[in-house]
Amino acid sequence: MKKEISYFEIAKKAINKSVNEGNYDSRTGLYYYGEVPFTKERIIELTDYVKKLSKMKSSSKQFTFTPTLYVTDNASGKSILIDSLILKELQSALKKYKLSSDKDF
């Protein structure tokens, strides 16, 4: 039975982790942040999605929105909360490493 983790538990873990949690696996070509694997298409998809979210504006000047995404790897069941710092790290990994494609799996 899969244990449900609340959004707040994920956020708390994300805040407690340092930004440099990522690891590149040269054997598979996957970039792991926490325990969640990313291919180049997934990073591009996340980037595009966050760009759409960042266009949201509040109708009043009292609020500003900071997009975050709760991402779950369906294969492993591992989850991660993606914020702007983690997204920048993933984008950097996309440029730095030769990441695998979704077609490779």
Question: Would you say residue 19 lies in a domain?
Answer: yes
Q: Is the pLDDT of residue 20 over 50?
A: no
Question: Would you say residue 1 lies in a domain?
Answer: no
Per-residue pLDDT tens digits for 30-85: 999 988 999 999 999 999 988 887 777 777 778 777 778 889 999 889 999 988 88
What residue spans of 1-105 are helical by DSSP H? 7-16, 40-54, 84-96
- Domain region containing 84: 7-104
Question: Would you say residue 79 lies in a domain?
Answer: yes
Domain count, the chain: 1
- pTM for the whole structure: 0.70
Q: In what order do the strands lie in the sheet with 36-38?
A: 22-25, 30-33, 36-38
Q: Is the pLDDT of residue 1 over 60?
A: no
Pairing of β 69-72 and β 22-25: unpaired
Cα-based distances in Å from 93 to 19, 77, 90: 13, 23, 5
Question: Would you say residue 24 lies in a domain?
Answer: yes
Amino acid at 8: F
pLDDT of residue 46: 92
